[in-house]
């Protein structure tokens, strides 16, 4: 059959090729080689992709929308209020516990981005500490100013 698949193959080459295939099959049957483990190891060794500010800006905007009190942190209640019709409360609680790294009961922007970004992406400290933090701070200040304006108008 190999002679039909590869025109011009010599019997000597065919025998070497078949011996190699038989050796591989024998190793596989002995569980010496697990090809799935090799593929997973290759995937793990691939370097993670770095995100830039433009790529996370939509997530930051979403964070500011979810942060209803404007304190720069997300509480479990804020997430439940936002996502409950679409997701179960149990799912939201499990996700919150999983990504609230410091177990403070509040999710900061870094924890939120870790939740939103695919696992093969990573953020640099510069992105988080400068760009993301200043974006969130600016939006939080705007929300506080809007709240103060609304309170002034109510008093008048």
- Does 99 lie in the same domain as 32? no
Are 99 and 53 in the same domain? yes
pLDDT tens digits, one per residue of 117-138: 888 778 777 777 777 878 888 8
Within a domain: residue 86?
Answer: yes
Residues 136/60, Cβ–Cβ less than 8 Å: yes
Domain membership of residue 53 as a residue range: 49-155
Residue 123 belongs to some domain of the structure: yes
Average pLDDT over residues 54-66: 85
Same domain, 97 and 148: yes
Q: What would the pLDDT profile of 71-100 be if each residue is shown by its tens digit? A: 888 999 999 988 888 889 999 999 899 988
Dihedral angle at the C-alpha atoms of 131, 132, 134, 139, nearest 10 degrees? 140
Report which of 151, 139, 84 is spatially closest to residue 109, judged by C-alpha positions: 139
Do 35 and 56 lie in a common domain?
A: no
Kindly report the CATH number assigned to the domain that includes residue 81: 1.10.238.10
Residue 65 has pLDDT above 80, yes or no: yes
**2 HSE (CA, 13 A, CB side):** 11
pTM for this entry: 0.60
Same domain, 32 and 60: no
Question: Do 35 and 67 have their domain in common?
Answer: no
């Amino acid at each position: 059959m190999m002679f039909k698949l590869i025109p011009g193959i010599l019997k000597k080459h065919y025998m070497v090729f078949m011996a190699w295939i038989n050796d591989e099959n024998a190793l596989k049957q002995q569980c010496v080689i697990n090809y799935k483990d090799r593929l997973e190891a290759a995937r793990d060794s691939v370097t993670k992709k770095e995100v830039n500010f433009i790529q996370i800006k939509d997530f930051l905007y979403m964070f500011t929308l979810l942060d209803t009190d404007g304190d720069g942190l997300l509480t479990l209640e804020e997430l439940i209020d936002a996502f409950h019709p679409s997701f179960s409360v149990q799912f939201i609680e499990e996700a919150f516990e999983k990504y609230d790294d410091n177990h403070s009961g509040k999710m900061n922007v870094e924890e939120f981005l870790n939740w939103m970004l695919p696992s093969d992406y990573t953020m640099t400290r510069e992105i988080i500490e400068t760009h993301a933090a200043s974006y969130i701070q600016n939006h939080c200040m705007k929300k506080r100013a809007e709240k103060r304006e609304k309170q002034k108008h109510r008093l008048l």
